[in-house]
Structure 1
Amino acid sequence: MDLVQFEKWVFREFNINLSAYKSNQLHRRILSLMSRVGVDKVDDYVTLLKKDKAQREKFLDFITINVTEFFRNPEIFEELSKKIKQELLSSSRPLKIWSAACSIGAEPYSIAMILDQCSPRVNHKIIATDIDSNILQRAKKGEYVQTEIKNVKKNLLDKYFIKSNDKYVIKDKIKNMVSFKKHDLILQNYDKNFDLIVCRNVVIYFKPDIKDAIYKKFSESLKKGGLLFVGATESIYNYKDFGFEKSSTFIYKKI
C-alpha cells in the first residue's frame, strides 16, 4: 500500500477525506507520525491502527491539526472585538456565530468572553464544530494548561476561569454559551444565517479547489454584512469571487 491508497483506506475507515489536503504536506505529516511510532511501511501502520485504539486516536488527532490557544494572535482578536462591537452589536438582538474546526474550544470560548464583555445580557448563540470527536469531548470539559491560556489577560482569567491544580477550568457562564457538535467541512452541509464565522489556520492545508468550495459555502452561510474571521497565515486573494469585501487584514465582510 502506498500513501495514496492509505488516503483511500482512511476515507473508508474514518470518513475523513485526506485527498482534500495538500499532498506534500500531508504525506510529510503521515511519514513523520509513522517514524515516531517506529513503523516504516504503510501496510504495517495500517495494521497498527486497526489493532491499537490509542494509536488510532493519536493519528486522528495529529492529522486533523489540533494546534490552538485562547486569543491566538491577540492583536488580531483585538481587531475582531472592535468589529463585533461596531458592526454586529448595533442592536440588542442575539448573534449567531459559528466556530468551524474549533479544536479544543479555545476560539469559541474566546469569542464567548468577548461577547460577555460587550453585551452580557444578550443570549448569543455560538456553535462550535470539529471533525475530531475526541477533541470535542475535551472542548466540552473546558480544562486548559498554562500554554493554552497564555494570551488571556489577567482580568479575564480571574473572571472566567477557576484554577484547579495545574489546570485552568472555564466557568459555566462561558461554557454554556457554546454548543459543540461534530462536523466535516468538506463532506457535510453548512447551516445558514450566521453573523460571524470563525475558521482559522485550517483551510490553508487544503488544495485550492477545496479551499474555494469552503469559502463559497461560508459566504452562503453568512447573513449580508456578516463577517468571516481567518487565521494570521491565510489570505483569501480572490475574496471578491465569493461576495466578500476586506473589512480588515484577516476579516472579510459579506456584501
Structure 2
Amino acid sequence: MDYNHFVTEFYTFSKIDLNSYKEGQMKRRIDSHIKKSGISDYREFLTLLKTNPKAYETFLGYLTINVSEFFRDPRQWATLEKDILPGIINVTKTFNVWSAACSTGDEPYTLAILLTKLIPSQKFKIIATDIDKDILAKAKTGIYPDKQVINLPADYKSKYFKKTTEGYIISDDIKRKIDFRQHNLLKDPYPSDIDLIVCRNVLIYFTEQAKADIYTKFSKSLSSTGILFVGSTEQIINAHDFGLKSKKLFFYSKA
C-alpha cells in the first residue's frame, strides 16, 4: 500500500481528508509516526488504526499541530482589544465568538479574559472547537506550564491563575465562559451569526483549495459586522474571492 492508497482508506473510515493538508509535510509526519510505532508499512498501520481506538486517538493528536500559548503575538492581541473589539461589540446583543482549531485552549481562555475586561460576562458566548478529542479534554482542565503563559500580563496571571506543582491553573470563572466542542473544519457544519472568529496559525498546513473552502465558510459564518482574526503567517491574498476584505493586518470583515 502506498501513501495515496493509505490516505484514501483512512478517509473511508475516519472522514478526515488528508488530501486537504500539504502532502510533503503530512507524509513526513505520518512516516515519522509509523516508524516510532514500530510498524512496517501503511497497510499494517491502517489495520492498527481501525482496530485500536487508543492508537487512533494518539495518531489524531500527532497529526494536529498543537502549539499554542496565551497572548501569542501580543501586538495582534493589543490591536484586537484596542482597535477591533470596541467597533464591533454591541451591548444590546450577545457577542458570539468562535475559537476554531483551539488546540489546548490558550486562545479561547485569552479571549474570555479580554472580553471580561470589556463587557459583562453574560453578554458574550465563546465556542471553542478542535478535531482532537484528547486535546479538548486537556483544554478543559485549564492547566498550563510556564512556557504557555510567558506572554501573559502579570495582572491577568495573578487575577485569573493559581500556581501549583502541576502548573498554572485558570480560574473556574474563566473556564465557565468556554463551550468546548469537537469539530472538523473540513466537513462539519459551521456556526452562524458569529461576531468574532479566531483561527490562527492553523491553515498554513492546508492546501490552497482547502484554505479557500474554509475562508469562504468563515465569511458565511460571520455576522454582518463580524471579524475574522488570523495568524501572523496567514495574511489572506485575494480576500474578496472568499467574501472577505481586509480591516487591518490579520483582521478581515465580510466584503
Classify the TM-score, shorter chain.
Answer: over 0.9
d(CA) in 1 for partners of 2:13, 2:201: 25
d(CA) in 2 for partners of 1:50, 1:90: 48
d(CA) in 1 for partners of 2:239, 2:121: 35
Task: List structure 1 runs of 4+ shifted beyond 4 angstroms.
Answer: 50-54
Q: Aligned letter for 1:14?
A: S
SS at match of 2:123: coil
1:251 is matched with 251
Stretch deviating more after TM superposition (241-250 or 127-136):
241-250
Q: RMSD in angstroms over aligned alpha carbons?
A: 1.8
2:127 is matched with 127
Q: Aligned letter for 1:62?
A: Y
Contact 2:100 2:129 in 1 (8 A): yes
Residue segments in structure 1 that go unaligned for 5+ positions in a row: none
Kindly indicate whether residue 225 of structure 2 is the aligned counterpart of residue 225 of structure 1. Answer: yes
- TM superposition shift of 1:46: 2.8
d(CA) in 2 for partners of 1:102, 1:46: 27
Count of matched residue pairs: 255
1:101 is matched with 101
d(CA) in 2 for partners of 1:232, 1:138: 25
2:15 is matched with 15
Kindly indicate whether residue 207 of structure 2 is the aligned counterpart of residue 202 of structure 1. Answer: no
SS at match of 2:126: strand
Contact 2:143 2:170 in 1 (8 A): yes
Kindly indicate whether residue 196 of structure 2 is the aligned counterpart of residue 177 of structure 1. Answer: no
Contact 1:22 1:206 in 2 (8 A): yes
TM-score under structure 2 length normalisation:
0.93
The 5-angstrom pairing of residues 133-152 of structure 1 reads 133-152=133-152
TM-score under structure 1 length normalisation:
0.93
Q: Could you tell me the percent identity over the aligned residues?
A: 42
d(CA) in 1 for partners of 2:28, 2:229: 28
Stretch deviating more after TM superposition (213-222 or 74-83):
74-83
Contact 1:92 1:122 in 2 (8 A): no
2:4 is matched with 4
Residue segments in structure 2 that go unaligned for 5+ positions in a row: none
- TM superposition shift of 1:38: 3.7
1:116 is matched with 116
1:76 is matched with 76
